[in-house]
Amino acid sequence: MNIQFQRMVDRYAGVPVCALLSLLERLRYKAEGGQPPRRILVIMLSEMGSLVLAQPMFARLRQQYPEASLHVLLFAKNREVLDLLEVVPKENVLTLNDRSLSLFAVDIFRVLRAFRAIRFDAVIDCELFARASSIFSYLSGAPTRAGFYRHTQEGLYRGSFINRRVMYNPYRHLTEQFLTMVDALESRSVPVAKRLPAVPSGTVPALAFGEGELRRISARLHADFPALHGQRLVLVYPSGGLLPIRAWPPESYQQLCSSLLADGYAVGIIGMKQDKPLGQRIVAHCQSPLCVDLTGYTRSVRHLLALFHRAVLLVTNDGGPGQFAALTPIPAIIFFGPETPVLYRSLGQNAHCFHLPLPCSPCLTAYNHRNSPCDGDNQCLKLIAPQQVLDQARAMLATPLESGRVALQSA
């Protein structure tokens, strides 16, 4: 299902369902549980990158409820990222297939049966005002339901059955707001969690690879693209994914890549198969054997993260790759504009965010279902000059390489 269709279904089906469930909740007897939850469901349907930002929340849940079993509900296409993070047992993952409405409908009944079998004590809905996730939180049967609540703010109507209402705060990083969800489970204040939150570490554990795995993947890359052997590789992700408005202009990427090649670096354009025309456009502009099209090359997210270990820098639009970089040692330059690093900056220790806070930025927010009023002329990104980015890239590339990455380059 494309994003516009998802918005339509969420609006025209979600509003009446939320209203009906709110009425049922008003009529039913509500018994408050006095014991800490033993079975907790976390709902994170749509965003791969947000799974990385939520890693401190999962760590806090394990610390605060060591005897509880943690479960996650998410879209099937995002499962690989969750499995890589190893925050819950694989058998505790529930998935929904959103490729089509019919597949989604079939999976709904399978998930509802699982809900009834598990009998959750608490549910944490991490979605930003999506009605579908709110409906699933109620249908989970959990007596304690934490989720974002709009109060009198603008935003999407999600019913009135959330009983641990976390005020969405556009001035706090999303990782901190996820941590508030954990505090909300046993909070009785209004609004919940009226205390200073424990500060997260700001980092996530690095993804572990098996012995020799990185070297084998590096050797395969050199066999497929011999020109990269022995070269310092910069990876570039120029696609905006489902939201093209998040992309730095292709012309700016072309200038940056040409300059990096002139500095003696190799450049690899990464992305999905559908990003190949964009990748080929940049490669054709650069006209260098050291600029290669890697769109569609990686077989999995794990394969992509292995390439991050081989590279010396990532330049990317806001999106999954920028968040995934936090799981590896690679330094990253990330472009923000329609969204803001105040909420979504990477948890990586070596990430630099470019963001011009124009009067209209950010325009993709929880209040508008990430449906921007922009006409496509994303000046918030167009005004970021390639020379600025090149200067920042050169400064980050001046840092000496770790010995492990040097070995991978010559493998």
The tens digit of pLDDT for each residue in 6-28 reads 778 888 888 899 999 999 888 88
d(CA 238, CA 283): 12
Work out the mean pLDDT of the chain and round it to a whole number: 90
- Residue count of the chain: 411
Cβ–Cβ < 8 Å for 134, 150: no
Count of CB atoms situated within 10 Å of the CB of 404:
11
Q: What is the amino acid identity at position 202?
A: G
Summarize pLDDT for 196-235 with one digit per residue, the tens: 766 555 568 889 898 899 999 999 999 999 999 999 999 9
Question: Under CATH, domain 213-409 is a member of which superfamily?
Answer: Glycogen Phosphorylase B; (3.40.50.2000)
The pTM of this model reads: 0.90
d(CA 132, CA 233): 42
Class in CATH terms, 37-184: alpha beta
For the chain, the domains span: 37-184, 213-409
Angle at 159 between CA 157 and CA 165, to 5 degrees: 95
Summarize pLDDT for 252-295 with one digit per residue, the tens: 999 999 999 999 999 999 999 999 999 999 999 999 999 999 99
Q: What is the amino acid identity at position 193?
A: A
- Pick left, alpha or beta for residue 199 (phi over 0 → left; psi -120 to 50 → alpha; otherwise beta): beta
Summarize pLDDT for 53-104 with one digit per residue, the tens: 999 999 999 999 999 999 999 999 999 999 999 999 999 999 999 888 889 8
Summarize pLDDT for 116-167 with one digit per residue, the tens: 999 999 999 999 878 899 999 999 999 999 999 887 776 778 888 999 999 8
Using CA atoms, how far residue 409 sits from 214, 219, 285, 395, 404, in Å, is 11, 9, 25, 21, 9
Q: What per-residue confidence (pLDDT) applies to 410?
A: 45
Provide the CA 246 distance to its chain's centre, in angstroms: 14
Same fold, 37-184 and 213-409: yes
Q: What per-residue confidence (pLDDT) applies to 124?
A: 97
d(CA 184, CA 140): 18
Find the DSSP H helices in 185-246: 213-224
Q: What is the DSSP letter of 220?
A: H
Q: What per-residue confidence (pLDDT) applies to 1?
A: 65
Name the residue with tokens 């093209």.
244
Summarize pLDDT for 303-342 with one digit per residue, the tens: 999 999 999 999 999 999 999 999 999 999 999 999 999 9
Q: What per-residue confidence (pLDDT) applies to 340?
A: 95
d(CA 23, CA 19): 6
Cβ–Cβ < 8 Å for 347, 52: yes
